[in-house]
Amino acid sequence: MGERTVAALAELIQVEVQGARDPETGRAAFAATRRRLAASGFQLVENEAEAWARLQDLRRTYYPSLRRLCDKLGIVLPHAVDETSPALAEDVIARTAPGS
């Protein structure tokens, strides 16, 4: 649903989506985030390669619209949540962990 919302909002605001690139989430950052989520009690797809492929497929459906929409609205997107930004990752995990 989120990807449709982003695309519809970009269309409504008349944002040009062509040419928006998706900075690739690094595989190491992806693995680190999976470990943190698992340690916090989230159920994850067991096969990491399958989860990685699903993430890449999903991002292709919404990221170009999201990138251009944020540019137009002056919103700065983080390029990655990884070991260099533990406070952000820990905050998200703490707020969304099962039972929180």
Q: Give the least confident one: 4-8, 19-23, 61-65.
A: 19-23
Asked whether the predicted pLDDT for residue 18 surpasses 70, the reply is no
pLDDT at 51: 93
Task: Count how many domains the chain has.
Answer: 1
Check residues 51 and 68 and name the one with the higher pLDDT: 51
Better-predicted residue by pLDDT, 18 or 36:
36
Phi/psi-derived region of residue 44, left when phi > 0, alpha when psi is between -120 and 50, beta in every other case = beta
What does the pLDDT read at residue 25? 64
> Residue 59: which domain range?
2-96
The model's pTM: 0.55
Please answer whether residues 26 and 80 qualify as being in contact, where contact means their C-beta atoms are separated by less than 8 angstroms.
Answer: yes
Query: Is the separation of the CB atoms in 72 and 62 below 8 Å?
Result: no
Banded pLDDT at 20 (limits 50, 70, 90): low
pLDDT digits (tens, 9 = 90+) for 22-65: 556 678 888 888 888 898 889 999 999 999 999 888 888 777 77
Give dist(CA 16, CA 8) in Å, integer.
12
Is the separation of the CB atoms in 48 and 31 below 8 Å? yes
